[in-house]
Amino acid sequence: MKYFCLWLIIFLIGGQSVLAVNDPGANPNNKVGVGTLSPNSEVEEIDSMVNANGDWGWVVILVKKSEMNLDRWQGVFHLLTKHHLIPIVRIATEFDQQGFWQRPADEDAKAWANFLSSLYWPTKNRYVLVYNEVNRAEEWGGKADAADYAKELEKTINVLKEKSADFFILPSPLDLSLNTHNGSLDASIFYKTMESTTPQIFTRIDGWSSHSYPNPNFTSSPFRSGRLSIKGYEWELSQIESYIKGRNLPVFITETGWKRKIQNGEGVNEDLIRQYYKIAFEKVWNDKRVVAVTPFIFNYPESLYYPFSFKTNEEDSAKEYFDYFFAIRDLPKVKGEPQREDLAADIQTDLPGIIIKDSTNNTVVTFKNTGNYIWKTDDSLRVNIDAQPDIQIEEIKWEKGEIYPGETAVGKLKFESNSKGPLSLAISIKNNDQLLAQETVTTTSETYFSLIARGIKNLF
């Protein structure tokens, strides 16, 4: 058995993927996460908070319609993969002249499906949050319209699932503090209208998303229960119980958190928030149904949401983070093991049909990483070969040390054949001891003399 970094020469395990989302609570799961508006620059800091003492925490990221840039977001996903963070992508439109989020256009669902399916995700499940607090008029083009949202949700589910059954669809969380007025719709009425407009729409979703804030005024005790508490998801599930037909939906608390008191304003003091988060994670959100809790928001230096920020701004430069950052960082956590796949495709090699015996031969092999793992060419990525007759490797060079999902591995190889005649090469490719491919290929080894003799014979 010799190492021979040749090619994958096989359309690898393409049919082995399970075409359905998996239960995120079935594997060991670290439910700690946070929301961010600047994932490019904040990933390392978020990692240090949500993955300390654990692994594979969560992060909610906002992607607007105008930001469907594959290069940018694939770069973000590469960072998330490297730092073991599971993204929940909240899709959004754009602001109109009144400052409202526009309603989606007719073609938006298809555009989102095309864009999101073109990205290589950190995990097999691809979590998508379909808009935000749509029972608020300003979140839906100036009118809270449950019927219109239900139709848009159904359309978005359809086009995403057509692209990949790995899309894990979460409906818009609602603002539970709102009653029915001109600019808002009570959550219970919103759910009823959704179901009557689009029957069984709640059976189509894969999980439940909730904004379980400690209301009123984002200041209440973590021990409070009910609709306006950090257990608000319980009330929500009771409202849709008859619609989901006995399903046990995994719960994603995609926004929560306490408002920090600033000077003489309303809010909770910093030390009390620190205690509240510790209590909440250890005694409230330990509910087995809850698979992710992502407080709002990691960093918001401007006044609007600064009372919720975990990171300080320039005015509070005496320290970098508020005390509740460390409360979450120091929590005991689970080493998450989300389901991922190790896959490859698009294999190409320039290995000739005839190689020269007792001389250096060259070939280049390329294959694409289409899974969720980062391949390390100097460590985890290995190609083993049994050759009859024998082959000796002179040199192996990889173009890059790490191959991220969506990237192509390029190996430049020099080798020598010690025998003349047909060669049978039994190739197996592994990453971290997982077999990616196994194939037998053939070529022919000739001497220069035999090739010249054959050429003369053909000439005359």
For residue 288, give both structure tokens. Answer: 């087995």
pLDDT one-digit tens code per residue, 346-372 = 877 787 788 888 888 888 888 899 999
Where are the domains positioned within the chain? Answer: 2-13+341-459, 18-329
| Among candidate residues 394, 451, 395, the one with its CA nearest the CA of residue 420 | 451
pLDDT in tens, 331-343: 999 999 999 999 9
Query: Looking at domain 18-329, which CATH architecture does it have?
Result: Alpha-Beta Barrel (3.20)
Q: What share of the chain is helix, strand, coil (3-state, %, to 5)?
A: 25, 30, 45
The pLDDT confidence band at residue 386, using thresholds 50, 70 and 90, is low
CATH number of the structural domain 2-13+341-459: 2.60.40.10
Is 453 or 270 the better-scoring residue by pLDDT?
270
Strand segments, DSSP code E, in 33-181 are 33-36, 57-64, 85-92, 126-130, 167-171
424 contacts: CB under 8 Å, gap ≥ 6: 387, 388, 440, 441, 442
One fold for both 2-13+341-459 and 18-329? no
- Closest Cα to residue 218, out of 301, 307, 96? 307
Lowest mean pLDDT of 5-19, 220-234, 251-265, 289-303, name the range: 5-19
183 neighbors 137 (Cβ within 8 angstroms): yes
Query: Is 7 a residue whose pLDDT tops 60?
Result: no
Can you read off the two tokens belonging to residue 132?
A: 């935000």
The neighbouring-strand residues paired with 89 are 61, 128
The encoded tokens of residue 342 equal 């190790």
pLDDT of the residue at 18? 35
**pLDDT digits over 21-73, tens only?**
899 999 999 999 999 999 999 999 999 999 999 999 999 999 999 999 999 99
**What pLDDT score was predicted for residue 19?**
41
Whether residue 49 contacts residue 34, with contact meaning beta carbons closer than 8 Å, is answered with yes
Neighbours of 428 (CB within 10 A): 16
Check residue 3 and give its pLDDT. Answer: 36
pLDDT per residue as tens digits for the range 398-449: 899 999 999 998 988 787 888 888 877 666 678 888 877 666 767 888 887 7
- Confidence tier at 2 by pLDDT (50, 70, 90): very low
CA atoms of 291 and 288, how far apart (whole Å): 7
Distances (CA, A) of 425 to 7, 105, 435: 11, 55, 17
pLDDT score of 451 more than 50: yes
